[in-house]
Amino acid sequence: MKMAPIHLFQFYLYSLCIHIFTIFVYLTYYSDLFTSSLYNQIKPHYDYIIVGSGTAGSLIAHRIATETNFTYLVIEAGGSGNAILDIPVFGPLLHRSVFDWQFETTPQEQACYAMKDKKCRLPQGKIVGGSAKLNNMVHVRGNISHYVTWFQGKYSKRYITEQFKQVEKNILHLDNIRYKSILANSILKAARELSYNNTDVNKEYGETFMRSRVSQSHGKRWATSENLKYTSNLVTHALVEKVVIDKKNIARGVIISRKGEKYMITAKKGVIISAGTFNTPKILQLSGIGPRKLLDSLDIPVVQDLPVGYNLQDHVTTGLDLVTFNKSLDIGPDDMLNLINVFKYYVYGRGPLTSPGCEVVGFLSTKNDTIPDIQFMVLPVGLSSDRGAYLKNGLGVTEEVWNNYFVSTFNQHAATILPILLHPKSRGSVQIQSKDHLIPPLIDPKYLTDEEDVNTLIKGLKFVKKFIDTKAMSDIGAVLNPNHFPGCHKYKLFSDPYFKCYLKHLTLTSYHPVGTCSMGLPRDKKSVVNLSFEVIGVKKLYVVDGSVLPTLPGGNINAVIAMMANLFFEDTIGYEIYCRNRNKLLEYLFLMCLLN
């Protein structure tokens, strides 16, 4: 389908701006790469080594720095960003950039048909701050009762709730969204029209719709890495090749490569892996911790035979550009180029540049239950909003699908209401394919291989249709996209078979992978780490990131990862401080008794 002259002009204008931004991103990355060695001096010995500066790694490092006298080093594979990259609306532009690991799935059998080679893209932050620098910044606690079962009753619901409160009050910086489009207001009206509450899901988990609570500070993206003020304790552009484990199965340190040089760094008290759901199992497997069959096939000596890399889960979704409007929703690429909006952002911390993308979140049950199994994320823009200048390639959509579906929305305004599968039954895996640490792992999430996942998402799409049929949405001209999705023409539009075909073609990740180093009891054959986050059978080696979550939480995962990291510090590092101080107090009291 040919583009109209106005759309062609928009394409070239947006492409020019994106190319300028891309050049800026490269300059940022490589200038940091050049200067990092000037101030990142690596010592041979530390008390703790933390691999990864994402939400978990940065939080743990911050508490070690401010509450202990322990020495530590945070090792980050990527580089440092800057204030421009922290403008919230620019987040999607970092996908597939040098600040992204650029992972993708293996070809999927039941999903991702609309993507090149049937591979879905899996953005993961390769930057100080990790994926919190690329995400939608949405803060959701999820179902806390669910987390109690993760810890087999070790911690009560009240204790875990207190962990969330401590993190939210003392560590994270949360704010209400500072820009609201027409769509956000209409969705909340539609929810009330359908008798759904507009309550805060972080206070009472259940069926509700609410404006997003986001990790921002005065409109600027905020991540736990903002607390890493001690540059001498942070080394960037350094890849961990493996963990060094002695014959007694005690982690002694790590081997890293940086600018062509290798370093052996030792840790007296522990090595903490916080490299993410894809890279953490890769590092463990390269270190000899993983399935024996896999390690033997690559001639890697087995240190511990554990199910590392299995149990991969992700919040699957669909629905890009499924909703169209006959008028603008007050946000789009043109708004990003408006100098007035730039002024509003820098002076007042407001305006469309502060948009997290997701303005409203909703939680519903498809099973007439009080516990939601579908989350909605409402975005006032669609994939077609930039006319194919960047987002299309970032997602990997084929030319056929782009030309025969998304281009048709150019004369309207497309928006996105994503129904997200909260508790998928499908399970995938992450496996290294070589001893070479530079080769990415094979990631096979096996999206939609369980029929129950498909049926639940179909019900989620029907909920979207139900919302579009409300008066609140019809008042702003909302309709479902009337164009058949390529490959689904033989099915009646918006029927169950059509929706099944649609979601198997347009399969999307919500960027919430978990589970590849599952936490549990040591006797459980599915467990990789115990309830204290220590790798089973290996002393002083801990895993603290999304990979340890046994199942997916009922919402965005960043808040849960922050809570888990805080709990780890309290349970392991903080407990050691407590014991040491208690012993000193006992020694003091003993001496006082002798003197008296």
Provide the pLDDT for residue 588: 47
Question: Which has the closest alpha carbon to 136: 402, 444, 354?
Answer: 354
Tokens of 419: 């129904």
User: Would you tell me how many other CB atoms lie within 10 Å of the CB of residue 497?
Assistant: 12
Tokens of 224: 């736990």
Distance of CA 128 to the CA centre of its chain: 14
Structure letter (DSSP) for residue 353:
G
Provide the pLDDT for residue 590: 47
pLDDT digit string, tens, across residues 319-363: 999 999 877 776 667 777 788 999 999 999 999 999 998 999 999
103-104 vs 304-305, strand pairing mode: unpaired
Tokens of 348: 């007042």
Which burial class, exposed, middle or buried, applies to 586 when counting CB atoms under 10 A from its CB (0-12, 13-18, 19+)? exposed
d(CA 277, CA 130): 12
Provide the pLDDT for residue 467: 95
Provide the pLDDT for residue 229: 66
Provide the pLDDT for residue 224: 96
Tokens of 200: 């805060």
Residue 372 and residue 554 in contact, taking contact as beta carbons nearer than 8 Å:
yes
- H or E element in which residue 184 lies: helix 182-193
In DSSP terms, 51 is beta-bridged to 75, 273
Residue 418 and residue 138 in contact, taking contact as beta carbons nearer than 8 Å:
no
Provide the pLDDT for residue 583: 54
DSSP helix/strand/coil, 496: helix
Residues of the chain with pLDDT under 50: 586-588, 590-591, 594
d(CA 161, CA 151): 14
Tokens of 199: 């309550």
Residue 165 and residue 177 in contact, taking contact as beta carbons nearer than 8 Å:
no
Exposed e or buried b per residue across 270-287, where buried means at least 16 C-beta atoms within 10 angstroms of its C-beta: bbbbbbbbbbbbbbbbbb
DSSP helix/strand/coil, 428: strand
- C-alpha angle 552-558-559 in degrees, rounded to nearest 5: 95
Provide the pLDDT for residue 330: 62
Specify the CATH superfamily of domain 5-577. Answer: FAD/NAD(P)-binding domain (3.50.50.60)
pLDDT digit string, tens, across residues 256-294: 999 889 999 999 999 999 999 999 999 999 999 999 999
Provide the pLDDT for residue 586: 46
